[in-house]
Amino acid sequence: MLELSSEASVLAGILLLAAITVESGGFFLTQIARGGVPATPFQQSFARAGHGHAGMFITLGLIAIVLTDATTLDGAAAWVARGGIPAAAILMPAGFFFSSMGKGRTEPNRLIALVWLGALSLTAGLATLGIGLLTA
């Protein structure tokens, strides 16, 4: 039987509950697609990108949590490996959503920087976990 560390169990529980917000975001996305919520083509594409990234990175984050427990990583390295991908699941979608908010917006505002912060978090988590698995 697979036994998760307490850190992994807590983070996995949080991510599973966070997946409910992705589900509700899907409902909002259907409202945009049906014309119930006015949005420019730019806003529509950013809404789709934010929703897709959120769901995919939550799923990948759950896998990373389990895999981190299969390494010998500890301390800060374990937290980066376990948390980098879930942080990207928050930062990147937030960048897509917040940078496209506002009536009639056709280009991103400065909050697009959150997408790039998420990309850095994702890279750090993937690299740390990958190295941790190769050296375990």
Residue 101 falls inside a structural domain:
yes
Domain ranges, residue 94: 6-134
The per-residue pLDDT string of the chain (136 residues; one tens digit each, 9 = 90 and over) reads: 668 999 999 999 999 999 998 888 888 888 988 889 999 999 999 999 999 999 999 999 999 999 999 999 999 999 999 999 999 999 999 999 999 999 999 999 999 999 999 999 999 999 999 999 999 9
Number of domains within the chain = 1
Query: For the CA atoms of 39, 40, 43, 45, what is the dihedral angle to 10 degrees?
Result: 110
**Residue 72 pLDDT:** 95
Residue 110 falls inside a structural domain:
yes
Residue 89 falls inside a structural domain:
yes
**Residue 27 pLDDT:** 86
Mean pLDDT in the chain? 94
Residue 82 falls inside a structural domain:
yes
CB 84 within 8 A of CB 124: yes
The tens digit of pLDDT for each residue in 20-47 reads 988 888 888 889 888 899 999 999 999 9
**Residue 1 pLDDT:** 62
Sign of CA dihedral 115, 120, 121, 126: positive
DSSP 104: T
Of 78, 86, 40, nearest to 61 (Cα)?
A: 86
Contacts of 15 (CB under 8 A, 6+ apart): 58, 61, 62, 65, 86, 89
Residue 93 falls inside a structural domain:
yes
Residue 1 falls inside a structural domain:
no
